Each structure stands twice: as structure tokens, then as C-alpha cells.
Copies of this chain bind each other. A is one copy, B any other.
Amino acid sequence: MIPVEGLPEVREGDDVAAQIAAVAELQDRDVVVVAHKVVSKAEGRVVRLDEIEPSAQALYLAADEDPRRLEVILRESARIVRTRPPLVIAETRHGFVCASAGVDASNASEPDTLVLLPEDPDASAVRLRDRLRGLTGADVVVIVSDSFGRAWRHGTTDVAIGCAGLAPLLDLQGERDATGYELHATVIAVADELAGAAELVRGKLNRVPVAVIRGFEPSGEGTARELVIPPERDLFR
């Protein structure tokens, strides 16, 4: 587990892969976990609060907080899952259920701006992976991560919202464990565990948005969209 230190502050249009390649010595099969904020900022997914006009719903949901922030959250939401003003749990257009539809203020390069999730975090991961291969020759896995809260449990853990070069789910269904007992329903969300592990070394306040996990044997291919439970199988809609 290697934090990637020395990255510059990211601005719109930056080549994040080149920034990573300049400071990290990547090897084949490394898992490169990138906090979504650097991806979002490079992709221009930042909004200025002074350009936002809050709707009546945003004013209601804001309680004592800034209604413009709630307006941005509503615009990023495909569905509101729960509210307790000013707290909003929403489903994003990608299908992720998370606080504030992934809209976040902390770590924005300037005050009075909000950082959105990437338009398509899986596509972002693919682009980063391809560019890293072009720059370094290393065939790596890329995970784009965000900190999500969980139902029933305090605190956030980092999860994968974008993924390239890895099957995000390790499916052990039908395999048998050492006692010969069939493992039911054992599908491990390895991409989420990798994102969480990376968070432990990245730290929140040290501005280390990227970590490399070496020694994990990645397998398969897939997208982080596979981590979303489809509506018809979702017991918590």
C-alpha cells in the first residue's frame, strides 16, 4: 500500500495520469486508487454557488444551510431516497445511493464551489488506465473512489464508483470451501475493499488523493456499475 505523494493541486483540463506517472513508479497489476475529486476537477465537474438559483424544494430541504448547495444536489439526483433537512440521501444518475448525491464541498480548490461526481466514473477509470499504460507501459487497474456513508452504520468507507481492469465482484457462488460446504451468496465486493484499503493510507487531510496497492492479484474485467443492485432486486427501495 503506497500513498502517491507530491501530486499538484488539480485544475480543469489537467492530465491526471501524467501527474501520477510523474511521481509514482507503477508496475503491471498495480491497483491505482484515485479519489474522485481529482478526476472530477480535471474533468471540470465543479460548479460555482454564485451561479445557482435555488428552487422551492431546495429552500425547503436546506433548513439552515445554503439552499444553493441543496439545489445542486437535487440536480445531481435521479431519485431522493431519504431526507432529514439539510441531509439528503439520493440516488445519482449512475445508480449510486449516497449522501448529497455525491456533491461535496470539502477539498474544493476554492471556496464557494462544489465538486460533483464524474459524469461517467467507469469511463474516467478506463481513460486513466489507458493513459497510464501509454505513459508508463504498466498494465494497471484503476479504481475511482468516493467516501460513502452506509445504512445502519456510522462513518464512511471509501468505495469504488469507477473501475477499469478488474472484475469489481469476486463471485464464489457455487464454489466449495475447505469443508466441502457450498458457499451461498458469497460475492465479495473486492473493488470496494480495495478503495477502502487505499483510504487508510491516503488520509483525508494530507492531500494524498491517490494510493497504489501492490501484491493484490486482480482478475477479470468489469465496471463499478455492476456494484449497483438493480431496482428489482433491491430490498431497500
Contact = CB atoms under 8 A, between A and B. Distances in A.
A205 B157 contact: no
Interface residues of A, number: 67
A187 interface: yes
Interface string A169-186: 110100111111111111
A107 to B, nearest CB: 5
A58 interface: no
A14 interface: no
Given A181-B108, A200-B197, A205-B177, A155 B82 contact: no
How many copies of the polypeptide does the oligomer hold?
Answer: 2
A81 B154 CA distance: 18
Interface stretch (A17-25, A117-125, A130-138, A223-231): A223-231
A178 B35 CA distance: 15
Interface string A186-201: 1111101110110110
A156 B185 CA distance: 9
A140 interface: no
A236 B235 contact: no
A87 interface: yes
Contact of A188 (B155, B182, B190, B215): B155
Contacts of A192: 153, 155, 157, 196
A158 interface: yes
Interface of A: 1, 82, 84, 87, 89, 91, 96-97, 99, 105-111, 147, 150-159, 168-170, 172, 175-190, 192-194, 196-197, 199-200, 204-207, 215-216, 226-229, 234-236
